[in-house]
């Protein structure tokens, strides 16, 4: 046991010595020249007695400045073990970094890096500047850096051996990959939800996450190194572009999620104006000097943060779980953004907390917002279902009242019949009246049932009726293996028709398109319905894909070539058709069939509209 303890102590000592040998602490050893020596070469800077000043922090942080600065570190003999070392600068946004190494008063190494240089000109192809040099034992070294940046001029650097650099680089890449992967997965998930549910808040969340991903790719050097390595000018303004987009989408998402309007938020015009200003900034960013764009986007983030906080305080009810999650997520995100702003303006020290707090607070923020968004959607859906159930209950009570009235009239008829006795003529008249009233009630009930299945504008069956018939056809398909198809037809650019000719003309246009569809459906078994807005659906029992395509092309061609007189105006409209084909071999369900048809419709829209697409 004693021997084992000694071996463990010896191993720990050797490990500590090895760890000490593969990294040199250069914190607070940086010196910065205060004179304007930007145009001097390194030989002049090394030879002249310049007023070097010690850095305020372990990592030099000069804030936003366009002027180049010289920095140096003096390394005494025997501080570096013999071997290969790297000066690793953890800042991918530096525009121009020039590295010079003096060994015993002789210049032995010079390298360049930064965003203003192509990848083949840089010291390495890593996303951070990392200058490699060989150190010999017993030599004095002076390391010089000439640094210039279009963003904040910060030099958080470490001096590590080549082996330790490889290990820490792999760790950093793994953590960043995990971060990007989580955000990308949440963006795709919510994009799928938007495509399925057509809820604006999901699309705004996707835009928010996408803008944040662009910001991370620019900030962490992924864009300049892997995504757009040859576009040097793009990196100069990508960080400002991403910042403007993050501000625009985050404020927009916040306003929609909290349901801001003029009644509940007095600063609504300022709120939406700031959102519009952010998107306008994103558009003009390529036209501005890079440093101006970065500074403008950073300054715009300050009022954006305060307005979002005020909106949350006024509108977020902590009694509800979605708003609690929303407020917590934004608190984390705003804290990270605030720490980063202080960091970039040179007001606090550059360290792991101030640099990486925004990254991980963003991950937690996006996760909490995703959960809150789902809770909010389910809450709204439950409320709509409750309102619908109340309407159904009210209708049932009305029907019960009518039935009770009918029963009372029938009882009165029987009583009158018994009382009148021999007055058969009067009894027959009364019975006739009661039968007529009963027929009227039956007709009224039929009209109510008919109204619940018919579209009031076009006279077609509605979505509810279509869903019932589609479920029946799916059951028939499962038991008999029948073949059927579904068409989803959407009027192209219908909003433009409403805006250009008026809603009355738009309604008449829908009615005339409905008449065209009726004329093209010859079989009694075919089902034509209006399932919402400018969208129609056709169920074609015992119809193959070829037959469905032929019918869809006939409909498309007829609509495109048929001028319509709507509200006294001649309108030419077109439709796009998506087809879902169900053969006798596959098991499926009604929702899936409609989703496939909708996907095919979106592909037809993407192919230029006025065309037909079959679900793959």
Q: Note the pLDDT tens digit of each residue in 231-280.
A: 766 776 788 888 899 889 888 988 887 788 888 888 889 989 999 999 99
pLDDT per residue as tens digits for the range 396-447: 777 877 877 878 878 777 777 676 666 666 657 767 776 776 676 666 666 5
Q: Is the pLDDT of residue 77 over 80?
A: yes
What is the CB-side half-sphere exposure of residue 144 using CA atoms within 13 A?
27
Q: What is the pLDDT of residue 355?
A: 60
For the chain, percent helix, then strand, then coil, each to nearest 5?
A: 60, 15, 25
Phi-psi region of 77 (alpha: psi -120 to 50; beta: other; left: phi over 0): beta
How far is the C-alpha of 542 from the C-alpha of 486, rounded, in Å?
11
Adjacent-strand bridge partners of 143:
73, 101
Residue 461 CB neighbour total at 10 angstroms: 20
Q: What is the pLDDT of residue 15?
A: 36
Angle, helices 200-219/162-197, rounded to nearest 10 degrees? 160
Q: Which candidate, 60, 52, 57, places its Cα nearest to that of 35?
A: 52
Q: What is the pTM of this model?
A: 0.53
Token reading at 570: 């001649």
Question: Percent of the chain, pLDDT > 90?
Answer: 17
Whether the Cβ atoms of residue 63 and residue 345 lie closer than 8 Å to each other: yes
Q: Hunting for tokens 């498309």 — which residue is that? A: 556
- State the DSSP code for 95: S
Angle, helices 232-258/268-284, rounded to nearest 10 degrees? 160
What is the CB-side half-sphere exposure of residue 302 using CA atoms within 13 A?
7
| Highest-scoring range by mean pLDDT, 14-23, 339-348, 395-404 | 395-404
Which of 150, 355, 508, 534 does the annotation list as catalytic?
A: 534
Q: What is the pLDDT of residue 45?
A: 84
How far is the C-alpha of 80 from the C-alpha of 502, rounded, in Å?
80
Q: Hunting for tokens 């039968």 — which residue is that? A: 435
Whether the Cβ atoms of residue 360 and residue 339 lie closer than 8 Å to each other: no
Note the maximum CA span of the chain.
137
Read off φ and ψ for residue 564, nearest 5 degrees: -120, 135
Show the CA angle centred on residue 600, arms to residues 597 and 602, nearest 5°.
Answer: 110
How far is the C-alpha of 86 from the C-alpha of 395, rounded, in Å?
79
> Can you list the domains of the chain with their CATH numbers?
21-166 (2.60.40.2380), 181-384 (1.20.1070), 463-614 (3.30.70.270)
Residue 405 to residues 348, 412, 429, 437, Cα–Cα distance (Å)? 81, 10, 19, 10
CA dihedral sign of residues 116, 122, 123, 126: positive
How far is the C-alpha of 597 from the C-alpha of 470, rounded, in Å?
13
How far is the C-alpha of 16 from the C-alpha of 138, rounded, in Å?
22
Phi-psi region of 236 (alpha: psi -120 to 50; beta: other; left: phi over 0): alpha
Helix (H) or strand (E) holding 63: strand 61-64
How far is the C-alpha of 382 from the C-alpha of 341, rounded, in Å?
41
Token reading at 605: 């829209």
Q: Which candidate, 280, 279, 146, 156, places its Cα nearest to that of 207?
A: 279
Helix (H) or strand (E) holding 295: helix 290-315
Is 534 marked active-site?
Answer: yes
What is the average pLDDT score of the chain?
A: 79
Residue 358 to residues 9, 318, 339, 564, Cα–Cα distance (Å)? 40, 24, 8, 57
The more confidently predicted of residues 354 and 442 is 442
Q: Which distant-in-sequence residues (6+ apart) come within 8 Å of 448 by Cβ?
A: 395, 399
Angle, helices 545-561/503-520, rounded to nearest 10 degrees? 140
Q: Is the pLDDT of residue 520 over 50?
A: yes
Q: What is the pLDDT of residue 423?
A: 65
* CA 114 from centroid of its chain's CA atoms: 31
Q: Which candidate, 612, 534, 539, 603, places its Cα nearest to that of 577?
A: 612
At 479 the three-state DSSP class reads: helix
Alpha-helix residue ranges (DSSP H) falling in 532-609: 545-561, 590-606
- State the DSSP code for 79: S
Question: Percent of the chain, pLDDT > 70?
Answer: 79
pLDDT per residue as tens digits for the range 597-606: 999 999 999 9
Whether the Cβ atoms of residue 255 and residue 311 lie closer than 8 Å to each other: yes
Worst-scoring range by mean pLDDT, 189-203, 289-303, 328-342, 478-492? Answer: 328-342
How far is the C-alpha of 62 from the C-alpha of 9, rounded, in Å?
44
Q: Is the pLDDT of residue 369 over 80?
A: no
Worst-scoring range by mean pLDDT, 281-290, 307-316, 367-376? Answer: 367-376
Q: Cβ-count burial of 570 within 10 angstroms (0-12 exposed, 13-18 middle, 19+ buried)? A: exposed
* CA 399 from centroid of its chain's CA atoms: 47
Q: Which distant-in-sequence residues (6+ apart) come within 8 Å of 473 by Cβ?
A: 482, 484, 539, 541
Q: Is the pLDDT of residue 286 over 80?
A: yes
Q: Is the pLDDT of residue 17 over 50?
A: no
Token reading at 456: 């009031």
How far is the C-alpha of 582 from the C-alpha of 474, rounded, in Å?
9
Token reading at 194: 């938007």
In sequence order, what DSSP letters do the residues of 149-168 get, joined into one string?
-SSEEE--EEEEEHHHHHHH
Residue 609 to residues 28, 487, 492, 614, Cα–Cα distance (Å)? 64, 15, 7, 14
Q: How far apart are the first and last CA of the chain?
A: 70
The more confidently predicted of residues 577 and 149 is 577
Q: Which distant-in-sequence residues (6+ apart) come within 8 Å of 183 by Cβ?
A: 209, 212, 213, 216, 362, 363, 366
Whether the Cβ atoms of residue 600 and residue 580 lie closer than 8 Å to each other: yes
pLDDT band at 18 (very low <50, low <70, confident <90, very high): very low
At 93 the three-state DSSP class reads: coil
Helix (H) or strand (E) holding 52: strand 52-54
pLDDT band at 452 (very low <50, low <70, confident <90, very high): low
């Amino acid at each position: 046991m004693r021997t084992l303890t000694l071996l463990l102590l010896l191993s720990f000592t050797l490990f500590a010595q090895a760890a000490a040998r593969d990294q040199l602490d250069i914190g607070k050893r940086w010196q910065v020249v205060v004179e304007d020596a930007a145009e001097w070469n390194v030989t002049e800077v090394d030879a002249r007695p310049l007023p070097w000043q010690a850095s305020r922090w372990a990592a030099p942080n000069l804030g936003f400045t366009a002027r180049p600065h010289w920095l140096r570190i003096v390394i005494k003999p025997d501080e570096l073990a013999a071997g290969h070392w790297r000066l690793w600068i953890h800042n991918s946004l530096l525009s121009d970094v020039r590295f010079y190494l003096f060994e015993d008063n002789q210049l032995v190494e010079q390298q360049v890096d930064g965003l203003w240089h192509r990848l083949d000109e840089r010291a390495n192809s890593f996303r951070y500047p990392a200058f490699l040099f060989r150190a010999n034992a017993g030599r004095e070294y002076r390391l010089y850096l000439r640094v210039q940046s279009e963003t904040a001029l910060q030099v958080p650097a470490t001096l590590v051996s080549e082996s330790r650099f490889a290990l820490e680089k792999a760790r950093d890449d793994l953590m960043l990959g995990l971060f990007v992967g989580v955000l990308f997965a949440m963006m795709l998930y919510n994009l799928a939800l938007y495509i399925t549910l057509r809820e604006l808040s999901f699309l705004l969340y996707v835009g928010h996450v996408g803008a944040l991903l662009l910001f991370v790719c620019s900030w962490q050097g992924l864009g300049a190194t892997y995504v757009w390595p040859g576009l040097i000018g793009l990196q100069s303004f990508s960080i400002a572009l991403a910042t403007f987009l993050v501000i625009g989408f985050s404020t927009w998402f916040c306003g929609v999620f909290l349901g801001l309007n003029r009644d509940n938020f007095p600063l609504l015009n300022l709120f939406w104006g700031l959102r519009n200003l952010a998107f306008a900034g994103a558009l003009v960013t390529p036209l501005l000097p890079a440093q101006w764009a970065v500074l403008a986007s950073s300054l715009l983030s300050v009022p954006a943060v305060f307005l979002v906080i005020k909106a949350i305080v006024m509108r977020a009810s902590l009694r509800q779980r979605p708003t609690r999650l929303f407020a917590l997520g934004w608190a984390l995100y705003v804290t990270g953004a605030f720490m980063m702003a202080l960091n970039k303006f040179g007001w606090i020290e550059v360290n792991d907390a101030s640099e990486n707090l925004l990254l991980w607070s963003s991950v937690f923020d996006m996760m909490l917002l995703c959960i809150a968004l789902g809770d909010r959607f389910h809450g709204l859906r439950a409320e709509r279902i409750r309102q619908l159930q109340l309407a159904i209950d009210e209708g049932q009570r009305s029907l019960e009242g009518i039935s009770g009235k009918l029963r009372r009239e029938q009882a009165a008829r029987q009583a009158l019949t018994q009382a009148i006795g021999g007055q058969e003529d009067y009894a027959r008249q009364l019975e006739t009246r009661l039968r007529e009233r009963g027929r009227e009630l039956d007709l009224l009930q039929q009209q109510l049932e008919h109204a619940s299945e018919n579209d009031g504008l076009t006279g077609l069956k509605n979505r509810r009726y279509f869903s019932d018939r589609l479920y029946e056809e799916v059951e028939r398909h499962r038991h008999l293996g029948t073949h059927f198809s579904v068409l989803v037809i959407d009027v192209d650019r219908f909003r433009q028709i409403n805006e250009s000719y008026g809603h009355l003309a738009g309604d008449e246009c829908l009615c005339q398109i409905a008449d065209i569809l009726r004329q093209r459906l010859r079989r009694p078994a075919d089902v034509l319905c209006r399932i919402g807005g400018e969208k129609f659906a056709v169920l074609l029992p015992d119809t193959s894909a070829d037959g469905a395509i032929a019918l869809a092309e006939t409909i498309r061609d007829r609509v495109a070539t048929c001028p319509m007189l709507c509200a006294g105006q001649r309108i030419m409209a077109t439709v796009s058709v998506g087809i879902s084909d169900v053969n006798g071999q596959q098991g499926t369900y009604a929702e899936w069939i409609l989703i496939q048809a909708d996907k095919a419709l979106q592909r037809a829209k993407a192919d230029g509209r006025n065309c037909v697409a079959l679900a793959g």
